[in-house]
Structure 1
Amino acid sequence: MAARPLSPLAAAREAAGYTQEHLATTLKVERTTIGRWERGVQSPQPWQRRGLAAALRVSLEELDDLLRQTLRHPAAPVGTSALVPSQTSPVPAPAAQDTHVDGPVPEVDVIHAAIPRLRRALDRLDLPDDGPTRSPADLRGEIVRASDDRLQSRYGSLARRLPELIAELARAGQLGDAADRRQAAALLTLALRAADGVAFKFGYLDLSARLIDLMRSAAQIAEDPLLLAAVAYVRTETFFATGDLDTAARALELAADQVPVLGTASSSAAFGALHMRAAVVAGRAGKADLAADHLREARHAAAAVPEGIYQGTAFGPASLRIHELAVAVELRDPLGIERAATWHPPSELPAERRSHYYIELARALLALGHHEDAYLCLQAARQAAPEHTRTHPQVRQSLSALLRTHSAPSSGLLDLAAWARAR
C-alpha cells in the first residue's frame, strides 16, 4: 500500500511519545477511532477531548487548534504523497516525504508540534507540575545527552524530551539546600540552552529571546561565572537578529573581562569562545583590525586547551579554525578564505560545527565564482548535519544564487534546492 503523510494531530501524538495503539488504550477507544481523528474524517466527542488534551500534554485551546488544522489539512488519501504546509509553522514545510500511517513523523513536524509543550514548561518554571525528580547525577547525564543532541543536530530528539526535562529541573530547583538549588539552576541553564538551539534554528525568535533571558536568570542563581559567559556567547544571536552589532561587541567584551583567572581549561575555553564570537561580530561590522585582535586572544586560549565541549560550547583549535573562516568570509578576504579552504574539519568535531564550516565555505566560494565547489560544500554540510543545514538561511541564499547563475541546473542542484526549500 502506498505511504501517506500524517496530520498535525498525529504529529502531536508522536511528539508526546504515543503510538496509535497506546493512545487508544489510554483513552479507552478503538485504534481505528484514533486513525479517523488523525485523518480529519471524525472529531473527538466533547467528553473525549479533555482526556486527549491531557495525553498530548496540550491545553484544550491548543487541542482545538490542532483539530482545526487537521480538518483543514487532513492526511492525503492513500496512494498520494503530497504534504500540505503547516499553517502555524514559522518556516516552510519540508519537501515531501512519505511515511506510513504508523511510521515516524518527519522530524520538522515533531519539532513544531513540541513547541507549545516547551512554552508551557517555561510558563510553569516557578510552579512546576508534581512528578518524579531524579538524582543530580541522573539529571547531569540527561543534560550531557541534551547538549550532545544539540551539537549533533538531533533536534527532533531534543524537542521530544526537553519540556519534561525542564519541568523536572524546575522541581529539582525547589528541593534540597542552597547548594542543591544552585546545582539544579546550573543544569537548567544548559537545558534552556539546548532548547534555544531548537527555537532559534526553526524560526521561533520570540521564544529564543525568552529562553536566553531565562538562561541568564538561571545562571545568576547558579552563581557560576563560566555559565554566565556561555549565556553571553549565546545572547549574540539576539543581536545578530536585530543587526545591533555594537551592542553585541560590548556584551561579549564585558563578559570576557568577567571570566575568572585563566587557570583552568574551562575558564580558558570560556574566555577564548567569547573572543572567537567577538571576532565574527567585528568581521560582520567590517572592523578587520578588531577582528584580528579577538582572533589573537582566541588562539592564545585555544593553545592551552584540548578541543572539547565546555559549558555547552565547542571550543579548541578546530572550532577556532571554523571561526577564522567565518571572519574571512565576513571581511571578504580572499587570502583568508583560501587559507581556510585548505583545511577540513575532523570527523570528531560536533556535526553542527562541521556543517557550519561547509556552509561558510560555500558562501565564500560562491562569492569567488567557484560555483561547483560551493555546491559540493553544501552537499558536505547536508551530510554532516542535515537539519542544521536545512534550516540555515545562508544555505537557501547560496542555493538561490546558484540557481540564478545556472541556465540549466543539474539534477543534483535542483534536488538539493528542493530539499532546502530554496528558490
Structure 2
Amino acid sequence: MPAHTRGGVGARIAYYRSVMRPKMTQQQLAEAACVALGTIRKIERGERGVGDSTLEAIADALGVDPMRLRADRGPAHTPVHDALPALSAAIATYDLPEDGPARPLHELRAAVAEASRWRLGAQYTRIARKLPDLLVELARAYHQAPSDQRTELARLLVRAYRSADAVAYKFGARDLSARLIELMRWALPETNDPLLAASVAYVRTETFFAARAHVSGLRALEQALDAAPAPCAAPEIAARGALHMRAAVIAGRARDAASATTHLHEARALADRVPEDVYYGTAFGPDSVRIHEVSVAVSLGDEHVGRALDVAREWKPPTDLPAERRSGFYIELARAQLWSGRPDHAFESLKVARRIAPQHTREHPWVREDAATLRRLKRADSETLTNFAEWCAAT
C-alpha cells in the first residue's frame, strides 16, 4: 500500500486529535487505532510516511473520513475509486463463480447486514474494500446451495448488490451501477418477495436519473406502485411510501409539479401510519418525507424553492436518521439557499453535510458545482471556502 507523504498528513492528524471533545492524547489515539505510540509521534512530526491501512485505522479512531487526512486528496485517487475494478470483476462471473469455500448462511446474513449499515452510514470505503469478496462468496453459495436455501441467498445477493451499487453510483461509475441494478433484477424472481421487488424498483430509478430520463423513470415507479402489496402492515406501508417519495422527486426533475405534489401527499399520508425506521434498506417515515419535500422543491426550482427554506426554518433532521439521508438534506438545502441569494447560509449547509457524511458529500456533483459557484461569488477569497472547494475538487 502506498505511503503518504510526510508533514501534511501528520499535521492533519495532530489537528483532528486536538479538536476532539475531550481532546485526545497521542497515547489514546495510538490505543484506539492499534498503532504504536512511537509511530503516532513520528507521523505527527512528519518523520515518517503512513500506509493506507494505518491511515484508515487512525481515521476511524478520530471519527473522520480518511480522505480528510490525506495529502493527495484528488477524487481520482481515493481507495473507493481504486476498488471499483475489483467490484466489476467480482460481478463478471456472477453465474459461473470459481470453486471455493462459503461461510454458513447465518454468517453471510450478518455480513450483508453489516454492508447495509455501512451504506446507510455513507461508509463507502468499507463497502468498496469488503464487497468484492463478499459478492463472489454469495454467488458461490447461491449456486452451490440446496433448493431450500436458494431463496434466502437470492435475497442476500439483492441486498449486497444494492450496497455495492451505492458505491458505484455515488462515485460516478454509472455503467457499473446499471450492471449491479440488472443483477438485482436477475436475482429478484428467486426471492419470491414483493417488498424486495419494490425496493429494487426504488433503486432502479438511479438509471433514469443518470440518463435524465425523468418521465420514463416516473412511469416505471408508477408501474411499481401498481404492483406493490396493499399497505396493511408497516413494511408494506413503508415500501409503498418509499416509492411515492422517489416518484415525487423524479416528477420534480421532470418539472411535473402536479404529479410531484400528488406523490408527496401520498407519501406523507403513509408516513403518518408508521414510525421512522429503515424498511427493506430504505429509511421511511415522517422525517424522511420532510427531507424529500426539500428535494422536490429544489427539483421543481423557481417559485418552489422557497418551500425548501420554509421546511428548514421549522425543522432539522434528527441525528438518528441515516447519515446519508441527513447529509443529502443539507446538500439540497444548500442549493436552495444559493439560488435564493444566501451564499453564506449555503456554505454553512455544505459544511454540515460534510461533517455528517464526508464521503457522500465529497462525491456529490451538486456539492462540487455549488462550491465552485460560491468561490466565484465571493469578492474576497476565503481560505475556508478555498479549502472546501479543493477538498471536493470543485472547478
* Deviation for aligned residue 1:136: 2.1
Q: Which residue of 2 aligns with 1:352?
A: 324
* Deviation for aligned residue 1:79: 8.9
Identify the match of residue 134 of structure 1 among 99, 103, 110.
Answer: 103
Mapped partners of 2:126, 2:104: distance in 1: 22
Q: Which residue of 1 aligns with 2:129?
A: 160
Q: Is 2:89 aligned against 1:120?
A: yes
Q: Is 2:285 aligned against 1:336?
A: no
* Deviation for aligned residue 1:178: 2.8
* Deviation for aligned residue 1:265: 1.2
Identify the match of residue 255 of structure 2 among 264, 270, 286.
Answer: 286
Q: Which residue of 2 aligns with 1:393?
A: 365
Q: Which residue of 1 aligns with 2:245?
A: 276
Q: Which residue of 1 aligns with 2:339?
A: 367
TM-score, length of structure 2 as denominator length: 0.80
* Deviation for aligned residue 1:130: 2.4
Mapped partners of 2:141, 2:99: distance in 1: 11
Identify the match of residue 414 of structure 1 among 358, 367, 386.
Answer: 386
Mapped partners of 2:108, 2:240: distance in 1: 27
Secondary structure of the 2:278 match is strand
The residue identity in structure 2 corresponding to 1:309 is: V
The residue identity in structure 2 corresponding to 1:366 is: L
Conserved in 1, the CA contact under 8 Å of 2:309 and 2:337?
A: no
Q: Is 2:217 aligned against 1:245?
A: no
Q: Which residue of 2 aligns with 1:224?
A: 193
The residue identity in structure 1 corresponding to 2:316 is: H
The residue identity in structure 1 corresponding to 2:164 is: A
Secondary structure of the 1:291 match is helix
Mapped partners of 2:117, 2:237: distance in 1: 21
Secondary structure of the 1:270 match is helix
Higher percent of residues as helix: 2
Secondary structure of the 1:173 match is helix
Instruction: Go from structure 1 to structure 2 and tell me whether the alpha carbon gap of 1:80 and 1:281 turns closer, same or farther (over 3 Å shift).
Output: same
The residue identity in structure 2 corresponding to 1:203 is: G
> Unaligned 5+ residue runs, structure 2?
7-46, 51-66
Q: Is 2:352 aligned against 1:383?
A: no
Q: Which residue of 1 aligns with 2:36?
A: none
Conserved in 2, the CA contact under 8 Å of 1:278 and 1:291?
A: yes
Conserved in 2, the CA contact under 8 Å of 1:321 and 1:340?
A: yes
Q: Which residue of 2 aligns with 1:97?
A: 70
Q: Which residue of 1 aligns with 2:4?
A: 4
* Deviation for aligned residue 1:147: 0.6
Secondary structure of the 1:421 match is coil
Conserved in 1, the CA contact under 8 Å of 2:306 and 2:336?
A: no
Q: Which residue of 2 aligns with 1:28?
A: none
Query: Percent of counterpart pairs with the same letter?
Result: 49
Identify the match of residue 266 of structure 1 among 235, 238, 244.
Answer: 235
Mapped partners of 1:109, 1:335: distance in 2: 37
Conserved in 1, the CA contact under 8 Å of 2:238 and 2:279?
A: yes
Secondary structure of the 2:143 match is coil
The residue identity in structure 1 corresponding to 2:180 is: L
Mapped partners of 2:373, 2:49: distance in 1: 32
The residue identity in structure 2 corresponding to 1:377 is: S
Conserved in 2, the CA contact under 8 Å of 1:95 and 1:421?
A: no
The residue identity in structure 2 corresponding to 1:367 is: W
* Deviation for aligned residue 1:108: 5.7
The residue identity in structure 2 corresponding to 1:130 is: D
Mapped partners of 1:194, 1:349: distance in 2: 18
Identify the match of residue 234 of structure 1 among 161, 179, 203.
Answer: 203
TM-score, length of structure 1 as denominator length: 0.75
Offset from partner CA, 1:354-375 (integer Å, 9 cap, x none):
1000000000000000111000
Greater gyration radius: 1
The residue identity in structure 1 corresponding to 2:4 is: R
Q: Which residue of 2 aligns with 1:74?
A: none
The residue identity in structure 2 corresponding to 1:394 is: W
Mapped partners of 1:140, 1:355: distance in 2: 28
Conserved in 1, the CA contact under 8 Å of 2:309 and 2:336?
A: no
The residue identity in structure 2 corresponding to 1:339 is: D
Conserved in 1, the CA contact under 8 Å of 2:116 and 2:159?
A: yes
Q: How does 1:72-91 map to 2 (within 5 A)?
A: none
Mapped partners of 1:154, 1:109: distance in 2: 13
* Deviation for aligned residue 1:141: 1.2
The residue identity in structure 1 corresponding to 2:177 is: S
Secondary structure of the 2:98 match is coil
Conserved in 1, the CA contact under 8 Å of 2:181 and 2:203?
A: yes
* Deviation for aligned residue 1:107: 11
